[in-house]
Chain A
């Protein structure tokens, strides 16, 4: 076994790890990054990017099947077909390009990327095994960025009919009947895509409503759209296991029944990979299943940092990236600590949901009076021209001085509003700031300005 040394060793080349690596390289830190998979992590290989590719393809296909003579736009298209295998090849091409892109960025920054399985020997020594060979790497500082994995249900183990999100994003044909267990954003994004591709989709959710982390005003347009797509949404329903024809479920009213399914997609959450790479041997302090970190992403062991999903919610790529960047700068000797005011979150259902900062309830729970303003897309010209009138923009502000505490929107394509939302909150904008900013017409972003004006009591277009 050969030996290597470096100043910084990063375990995991997902968004948290590779951004940490690039920034460390820029800062002249001798860095090695290790990952079993191609660089990019869950996000790039089996998460954000593949799902967005599939969602886009499904959307394009659905538009055509929508043009069946009944479109108010006057467009008719005849019997569109989709070769999902070709779609998946296209998606894989994008992923491969991005894999190479990340590898190139790491190389450009002078970071050594090693493909292999990492195993901690001690807090500063890691054995990396690639095939039959292994190398021992000693580092002054270590960053754990091992990410997360889909949660498996003991009574619905992955395999056969039962698939996780990764497999769902690589299906070579559209299942005739797809049953989705879990009505969170991953299940709904993929479920929606397959419904648009022609599958008969059933969503089984144990809670009383879908997307439980959002308030019902935000989820209502999504639920409506799911139903319009013909997706059956079964709430307060528990999956019990596999039956002969599909999924056995138990509902409060009707008791047990079986839902016919060719594939059962289980998306009931993700668990941190804090048990991988022999991390457990380090005896790091934890918060539940997550590694506990402080506001500098330091674990309980000197010189061992952790970033990304393995450190807790929200498990989002952009949070991991910001953590990774910060940690690289801390290791380079800069004074940094986590001082973000908000982490935007997007749900790529149709319509999309974007949230940033506090919801009205969260703001009220913090004490102090709150004012909200809401602007419906039904009153937005651009939304009308895109047949996207469902949804709204909402602002939550401190009543005392109008400081914006939270921004939410639901509607087609509103994910792109996330930048405006997070900038407003990070810069400490008040509703009268945003109300006084010219927003280009005709765009959906006018909804942001109008929501702020509404909170001020003088929206112009409602």
Chain B
């Protein structure tokens, strides 16, 4: 038997470290060649790390949330034969592992709470103290809350110092936690159950003040999003312009195209038309389709229009990229958006599909509100936000007409885009969307 150490491989993009987001194996698990061991996250995407050998996992490098350097020891696997790590073979369970195991033991949710011993002694403590006795100790199903003895005003909840400390650190008010121990003592198991399932239900009537707090660790995708948003908002002075667009005409066109071609070419939403409008608009203002390297002092303008589509996924916001939209028809754009959105939601989008945008569209769909202040997808310089469409009365010079109206909210990097140019760009989008024929005849 030997120890085979797998280091965190270079997963491209020239990165130096990656955040561990998930283990697919635990110490003691048998793994086969090519089994997925765990997942790490870079700026762009989640990457699964496969095993290159078969054997038994004996050591893990850390816990989800830890940042691991590329090339650092990732996992150790006990294998038939020699392995590749002679030093580790002498000490198959490095010290770090013992610590981790301890950590786990402390984590409430890590292991199912041990079955409570049957409370035999409880039933017959004696005449004086126990006769009036506790109700029979509750089963796991009927949660410990059953034995909750109401506390007198100012009375401290009964719990060992270790339980009290754990509760303080978890922000849990022990007065809320039912104790299943002798004299209603709150046990570690009671706290585990409370943390796992929340407060016992079916309490007395009336409302109680909510005293708890919870710390939610910001890891993985959420951390990436947080860093990215903070970077953008702290470095880029945003200017946001909101404009009203009469989309009656483009909606009419869309309806006719769908009636004619939906079956064969797929259904069109408004989004491909907005993409088309952006392609047309940046042709006149290439400074909008650009990445600003503010440290290098260079704005790189792109001929290809690679539009990022801000997409809500179960894990959080991602921005898959529709490449070369200048070379796509509206149906092609529509199909690409559908494909990318699905891939992103299922977490299957590749790194290439999640990077390389030069301008971004953000839309909250039916929740789109009247106006938004979109945050630029750094290091881009412009973002187009689409707000909710509604039928509103518009004055046509003689009378009010019911028109389909939608606002667009666009933000620009004011360091490199002047307000005037931003306004020109927004007006261009407006005129293209209000007169959709322009998008096609100018081609």
Contact = CB atoms under 8 A, between A and B. Distances in A.
Contacts of A433: 182
Given A339-B164, A401-B129, A456-B125, A428 B185 contact: yes
Nearest to B169: A335
A433 B121 CA distance: 10
Interface in B123-137: 125-130, 132, 134
B128 A456 contact: yes
A401 B128 contact: no
Contact of B161 (A398, A399, A426): A426
B168 A401 contact: no
B164 A402 contact: no
A371 interface: yes
B374 interface: no
Interface string A325-361: 0000000001111010100000000000000000000
A458 interface: yes
B398 interface: no
Interface string A398-423: 11111100000000000000000000
18 contacts: A335-B169, A336-B168, A368-B152, A371-B128, A402-B125, A402-B129, A403-B158, A403-B183, A427-B160, A427-B161, A432-B126, A432-B129, A455-B128, A456-B125, A456-B128, A456-B129, A457-B126, A457-B128
Interface in B149-194: 149, 152, 156, 158-161, 164-165, 168-169, 171, 181-185
Contacts of B181: 428
B182 A426 contact: no
A428 B183 contact: yes
A230 to B, nearest CB: 43
A455 B127 CA distance: 10
Interface in B98-136: 121, 125-130, 132, 134
Contacts of B126: 432, 456-458
Contacts of A334: 169
B183 A398 contact: yes
Contacts of A456: 125-129
Given A335-B168, A432-B182, 9 more contacts: A339-B156, A366-B152, A367-B152, A371-B129, A402-B128, A402-B183, A430-B129, A432-B126, A457-B127
Nearest to B171: A335
A402 B130 contact: yes
Most buried by A among B126, B132, B159: B126
B135 to A, nearest CB: 11
A457 to B, nearest CB: 5
Contacts of A436: 121
**For the complex of A and B, 4 pairs with smallest distance between CB atoms:** A402-B129, A403-B183, A428-B185, A432-B125
A431 interface: yes
B128 to A, nearest CB: 5
A336 to B, nearest CB: 6
Interface in A441-460: 455-458
B439 to A, nearest CB: 57
A152 to B, nearest CB: 37
A188 interface: no
A249 B128 CA distance: 50
A356 B163 CA distance: 21
A457 B169 CA distance: 41
Interface in B409-439: none
Given A398-B183, A401-B183, A431 B156 contact: no
A429 B165 CA distance: 18
Contact of A432 (B130, B160, B165, B169): B130
A455 B158 contact: no
A402 B121 CA distance: 14
